[in-house]
Homo-oligomer: A and B are copies of this chain.
Amino acid sequence: MKYTTKEAMIYSQRIAQLSKALWKAVERDWQTWIKPYDLNINEHHILWIAYHMKGATISDVAKFGVMHVSTAFNFSKKLEERGLLKFSKRDDDKRNTYVEVTEIGESLLDDMNDHYLDTKHAALDSSLPLKDIYGRFPEFMELMAVIRNIYGDDFMEIFEKGFRNLDQSLKEDEEVAYTEID
Check A146 against B130 for contact (C-beta < 8 Å). yes
Do A8 and B178 form a contact, CB below 8 Å, given A20-B26, A126-B150, A130-B145? no
Chain A interface main SS type: helix
Check A19 against B26 for contact (C-beta < 8 Å). yes
Stretch of A53-61, A78-86, A93-101, A159-167 that contacts chain B: A159-167
Within 8 A of B (CB), among A1-32: 1-27, 29-30
Enumerate 20 A-B pairs (CB-CB under 8 Å) in ascending A order: A1-B132, A2-B179, A3-B128, A3-B131, A3-B178, A4-B177, A4-B179, A5-B173, A8-B117, A8-B179, A9-B116, A10-B163, A15-B127, A16-B123, A21-B147, A22-B22, A22-B143, A122-B150, A126-B147, A130-B142
A170 within 8 A of B: yes
Residues of A within 8 A of B (CB): 1-27, 29-30, 45, 66, 113, 116-117, 121-132, 137-140, 142-151, 155, 159, 162-163, 166-167, 170-171, 173-174, 176-182
